[in-house]
Chains A and B, each alone.
Chain A
């Protein structure tokens, strides 16, 4: 049950695109199409942004997109906006009804 690996921080200017990576193993990210991404503003409840690698829940802007290649998943945010500044966490199903999260990435909008 080792945490997935995410960069500690990323940044971009309004209107730009940023990509956050999430690296696991063949036992989690690489083994299942059950990667999800969460936006977390401190003090608030986390919000799901992407599920099943690339699906967007209703209400999430299409500026947010997800993908996966091998053991690495990615979240891309295009057309950055000030309100996108938050912590982002990836998560993956890891088999046998267990889950694992990434360490989180702080997104700064410059």
Chain B
């Protein structure tokens, strides 16, 4: 079964850091582009970041550029999102997503709350 399982969410103070992880299974992880997408409470989905198969190319939404870093460990079938200097507006459910030009497999999400 193709599966993505996120972890690492939680409550963090403004200015703090968190690292999200996403364990992939059921498909050749190293062959796929991957994304992080988030949804703030009561809001829509927002694309956050993308990484291609071989780690060379990464892209970010303007709202997180310079603060978030996406990475992957193809040997461990795991995707990461390092989030630094967190702000209240980063509060959201973060989804790990497989896909190239469209996103065909989604995890259940992990919740990040930034609050003092």
Contacts and interface: CB of A to CB of B under 8 A. Distances in A.
A36 B45 contact: no
30 contacts: A1-B61, A1-B62, A1-B63, A3-B44, A3-B46, A36-B101, A38-B103, A44-B108, A45-B107, A45-B108, A45-B109, A46-B45, A46-B95, A47-B106, A48-B103, A48-B104, A51-B101, A51-B104, A52-B102, A89-B44, A91-B103, A97-B50, A98-B47, A98-B50, A98-B59, A99-B35, A101-B37, A102-B44, A103-B44, A104-B45
Given A32-B101, A46-B103, A103-B43, 15 more contacts: A1-B62, A1-B63, A3-B44, A3-B46, A34-B101, A36-B101, A46-B45, A46-B106, A89-B44, A93-B101, A98-B59, A101-B37, A101-B45, A101-B47, A103-B44
Contacts of A34: 101-102
Interface residues of A, number: 27
Contact of A91 (B61, B63, B102): B102
B7 to A, nearest CB: 15
Nearest to B50: A97
Interface string B55-92: 00101011100000000000000000000000000000
Interface of A: 1, 3, 32, 34, 36, 38, 40, 44-48, 51-52, 57, 89, 91, 93, 96-104
Given A51-B102, A91-B102, A45 B47 contact: no
Contacts of A99: 35, 47, 50
Contacts of A89: 44-45
Contacts of B52: 97
A101 B43 CA distance: 11
The 3 closest A-B pairs by CB, nearest first: A51-B102, A36-B102, A104-B44
Contact of A97 (B43, B46, B57, B95): B57
A94 B37 CA distance: 15
Contacts of A46: 45, 95, 103, 106
